[in-house]
Structure 1
């Protein structure tokens, strides 16, 4: 019987462990420092333009008078309409696939295709929305067409994140509920959904946050780069923050670069507010569930 090699059974040295820890820490710190540097640089450029007048004014051909109000209002219209379409459909599809669909080949095929759709470039959804909503359904270049295209974009993300949240609920809770005489839907509505709600809301809000940062699909759908009015309904022309920023960046005047930096700060604050809302709602539902 051969004796074990001491070199193979020797525990890893403290030096190797510290080296791995240092490499992992560096991998975390470098992106954070890069992000902080970019934010500081953009904020420094935007400081001379960030004001209440900038937020409440309309775009102008003069950089010192330009504002971003139509982009803010259009973005919130887009968020509201996209969420109204994508969240019920996405959560409903996730409930069906996870609670009723089983684990067969069809379910596996759907799961693989959802993952593939989540990785499709956003411009493809813009082309699909242009052909389907703008031309085939005759919606024109309107908020409704843009919101439906964005709903298609975030739908795979909402479905997958909702399914993951539903999977975190122990199977024993479902079995206990049905053992007490509850129907499957009663168990889902009264047990599964309350337990999974923090994860569902977090995934949904982060998916909507992705939609608000997209510009390419909306440019294809015909969102306007220069808007002197506010959208008043789903059929109205519109612009959003990323497109307004893109318009300013493409201008040759140096003053519009400062306007674009201020617009980037407004967009970052909007995204941070959405992310903060996701964290707050998650913790609140977790406390309600535990209490």
Structure 2
């Protein structure tokens, strides 16, 4: 079974890291009219006619040039301009979350490039001063490093986050159930898998067990790796797991979750067909893939 979230990461680009500090190489490839450029205002992009717009270097505005790499015979860049540009045109620029539906159906398969560009833009946006000496930071290495006058160098960070479908009962049986939760601010009927960040000194499997216990009171024993997905919102890598519950009583924390429920396959199918349960959008999130992996096929409806 091919999972829909894999479409977003199915066509990775060569990040050309060895060329990031090569000014001559960068200038030569920027001068190529076939190079493609994504314009980013602060941390936002501007879809045009329902698609991500890539322009030629000649049509790109002045700004910080970020090398994304090479893909499909072209060199790809991003240019990061002042956030005031998007503020002045409210409604036409969107953060990455708003662009995800376009990426799911992108014929150019440019999602990894957009993730790369906006992940760096988010990091550059929030990382202004050196954490060691407090001096201002300046970009170098085609936007992939920040350095202060004291030569303290900062690199982009990625926070590991676990996301899991938790199951209970005999695997594959009619009585097997999966555990989903809903956030306190979500619209009625919206449910998803549980998720959370890995803490310092913690294994990924233990992060799964801790997050499920904290949010729902359910205890998890065996944890099996499923897959992963970049999630630069703003700087995460989502690591998917399937956990087997060793207890089933739910005690919702009412801090992160409003509700958590066990669903059999029959219940989930009935509710999804009726539209009374809304699952994460197919093709965008690994959460939907985890649910449909457990269910054994596609389900109707989405957020």
Fold in common (TM above 0.5): no
Choose between structure 1 and 2: higher helix proportion: 1
TM-score by length of 2: 0.23
TM-score by length of 1: 0.24
Which protein shows a greater Rg?
1
Higher relative contact order (CA 8 A, sep 6+): 1
Choose between structure 1 and 2: higher strand proportion: 2
